[in-house]
Amino acid sequence: MQISDNWIDIAYLISAILFVLGIKGLTKPKTAVRGNMLAAAGMGVACVVTLLHRDIVTYEIIIAGVIVGGVIGAILAKKVQMTAMPQLVALLNGFGGGASFAVAAAEFFRGGHPDVVGIIATGAAVLIGAVTLTGSFVAFAKLQELIGGKPMGFPGMKLVNALLLIGSLVAIGYLVMNPGTPLVFWALAIAAAVLGVLLVLPIGGADMPVVIALLNSYSGIAASAAGFVMGNSALIVTGSLVGASGLILTQIMCKAMNRSLTNVLFGVMAEAGEAMDQDEVYEGKIKSTSAEEVAMVLETAQRVVIVPGFGLAMAQAQHAVRELADTIEAHGGEVEYAIHPVAGRMPGHMNVLLAEAEVPYDKLKDMDAINPTFEQTDVAIVLGANDVTNPLAREDKGSPIYGMPILNVDKAKTVVVVKRSLSPGFAGLPNPLFAKDNTLMLFGDGKGAVVDITTALKEG
Amino acid sequence: MDFVAQLTLFVLAIFLGVELITKVPPTLHTPLMSGSNAISGITLVGALIAAGSDAGLLINVLGFIAVVLATINVIGGFMVTNRMLAMFKRK
């Protein structure tokens, strides 16, 4: 059965409406599940109606592709651990870019749209799609620790990147003049793929939230470009929705680190004005404590704030933390969680982990909401977070992180920092918080330490 | 559809996207990302047309690759988003 293009476009309009309503649902935790369902329904409408498109003559390849992709997708979605969400999203970004690349390539070799706009859109879809594909795989490899999380590069890397980008743009220009040159097309694809790798390699592990959000945006823009190639309204609208979403998240992440996007992508962190000596900051001022001592402090605490960081995810300590919070509440204390926007490896990472451990979402407070309350907080427990609590960002104008918004944990009556050692965080700076009079250091494995405190509190 | 109409759609959709997304609370940013992954799997629509056409082997191969990748995004994205959101729902 075939239907006219008008009906197909009307069906695409319906799916676009469903996507918009779906995202709208995501603005509240209560309506979010329904929102996701609406978006999925929109996808269903778009796909079913496309199967009736007049260009589709065989279904064997489609069925095979859908089965292979569906099985892989379902397995990924079922098996992934919540701590590994950043890796999964990085991978999905890459697949999205790859799909747009392949669609644009197919359209190019079909030679259906020889006009200038069509070729430029094809070039854009290939360039952005390939960069997204390989860049996301590098991000995945870094997050999965297949390769080191440290920035990697070589002298002249920026020059090579600039040449690759200019070369890609020249190739697109050449294709506009001579659309029938497959060799130039593949050269463009390869240059873009290499560019994707080189763009993400020099970015460090802690900047991954920004990179993932940006690649998320790219995958949307690539889909949109593919839509321009095919003259398909569904792709254009949906791709730009996703592109906007990624851009906003990128902006939020950059703001939370007080760095510009250019600085995250191409810069290294500024050198410290005067080299901060770790020994000078810590010497004789560190008070090491035990789980029993922490339990004694917690026993009488009225208000406790838990500050999770990436270390919580590393230690898979979210369930242990929930147990500790339950125990504190059983002793009459109130517990809330302070979530810095860049805590973890992607936007909202900590929230998902704590939600998995059944922490009610209204106890998860963002930075602006929780900061004024630290002065009325008896105990702040810092778990695997470092730079986002560093008072240097507030006080030391010469510090490279000066101006970065931080969680003011040092204002709490007592601060307990659970940490393996005094090693610095990603910024490579000593943290004067550890040396404050009201700070107790509990050295050890994050999960083990939390379990020990809980046990001591239950027994005490 | 002519280019200007396409561009109009593109620009308006970006504005709509910005309005919508700024209202999503930080606590739901991870599901928002996986959900938008799923939605960007809309490329599947283009992939289906390429995979099912009779334009030659190369087109079909590229179409097949695109169908597989986009389906992973759609199925994987919606399922994992649903899994996460279900955790936020319970109180």
Tens of pLDDT, residue by residue over A124-153, are 999 999 999 999 999 999 998 888 777 788
What local confidence, expressed as pLDDT, does residue A274 receive?
46
Question: Nearest-CA distance from A297 to chain B in Å?
Answer: 29
Of B51, B74, B78, the CB nearest to A62: B51
Over range B12-19, report the average pLDDT: 93
Residue B41 and residue A82: Cβ atoms within 8 Å? no
Spatial distance between the Cα atoms of A48 and B48, rounded to a whole number of angstroms: 10
What local confidence, expressed as pLDDT, does residue A112 receive?
64
Spatial distance between the Cα atoms of A189 and A24, rounded to a whole number of angstroms: 36
Mutate to test the interface with B, among A3, A54, A61, A365 (most CBs of B within 10 A): A61
**What are the helix and strand counts (H, E) for chain A?**
18, 6
Res B76 pLDDT > 80: yes
* Residue A113: strand, helix, or coil: coil
* Residue A334: strand, helix, or coil: strand
Q: Is-contact A273 A438, C-beta < 8 A?
A: no
Residue A62 and residue B1: Cβ atoms within 8 Å? no
With a CB cutoff of 8 Å and minimum separation 6, the contacts of A162 are none
| Three-class DSSP labels, chain B | CCHHHHHHHHHHHHHHHHHHHCCCCHHHHHHHHHHHHHHHCCHHHHHHHHHHCCCCHHHHHHHHHHHHHHHHHHHHHHHHHHHHHHHHHCC
Question: Nearest-CA distance from B57 to chain A in Å?
Answer: 10
pTM (2 decimals)? Answer: 0.90
| Residue A387 neighbours by CB distance under 10 Å | 22
Residue of B nearest to A67 (CA): B68
Of B21, B49, B69, the CB nearest to A53: B49
* Residue A103: strand, helix, or coil: helix
Of B1, B38, B79, the CB nearest to A74: B79
Distance between start and end Cα atoms, chain A: 74
Q: How many residues does chain A have?
A: 460
Helix A85-110 and helix B77-89: axis angle, to 10°? Answer: 150
Q: Which of A9, A277, A387, A452 is catalytic?
A: A387
With a CB cutoff of 8 Å and minimum separation 6, the contacts of A105 are A126, A185, A189, B62
| Residue A221 neighbours by CB distance under 10 Å | 26
Question: Nearest-CA distance from B4 to chain A in Å?
Answer: 10
Which residues from B are below 8 Å from A33, CB to CB? 82, 85-86, 89
Residue A65 and residue B63: Cβ atoms within 8 Å? yes
Residue of B nearest to A366 (CA): B26
Question: Nearest-CA distance from A155 to chain B in Å?
Answer: 34
Q: How many residues does chain B have?
A: 91
What local confidence, expressed as pLDDT, does residue A272 receive?
41
Query: What kind and span of H or E run contains A308?
Result: strand A303-308
Which residues from B are below 8 Å from A65, CB to CB? 47, 51, 63-68, 71
Of A46, A92, A226, the CB nearest to B73: A92
Please report how many Cα atoms fall inside a 13 Å half-sphere around the Cα of residue A163, on the Cβ side.
Answer: 6
Over range B14-22, report the average pLDDT: 93
Chain A, window 209-238: residues with a beta carbon less than 8 angstroms from a chain B beta carbon = 212-213, 216, 219-220, 222-224, 226-238
What local confidence, expressed as pLDDT, does residue A284 receive?
80
A387 tagged catalytic: yes
Residue of B nearest to A103 (CA): B47
Res B90 pLDDT > 80: no
Cross-strand bridge partners of residue A334: A303
User: What tens-digit pLDDT sequence spans chain A (460 residues)?
Assistant: 567 888 898 999 999 999 999 999 999 999 999 999 999 999 999 999 999 988 889 999 999 999 999 999 999 999 999 999 999 999 999 999 999 999 999 999 987 656 888 899 999 999 999 999 999 999 999 998 888 777 788 888 889 999 999 999 999 999 999 888 899 999 999 999 999 999 999 888 778 888 999 999 999 999 999 999 888 888 999 999 999 999 999 999 898 888 888 887 776 544 444 456 777 788 888 889 999 999 999 999 999 999 999 888 888 899 999 999 999 999 999 999 999 988 888 889 999 999 999 999 889 999 999 999 999 999 999 998 888 899 988 888 888 788 889 999 999 999 999 998 888 877 778 899 999 999 999 998 889 999 999 999 998 7
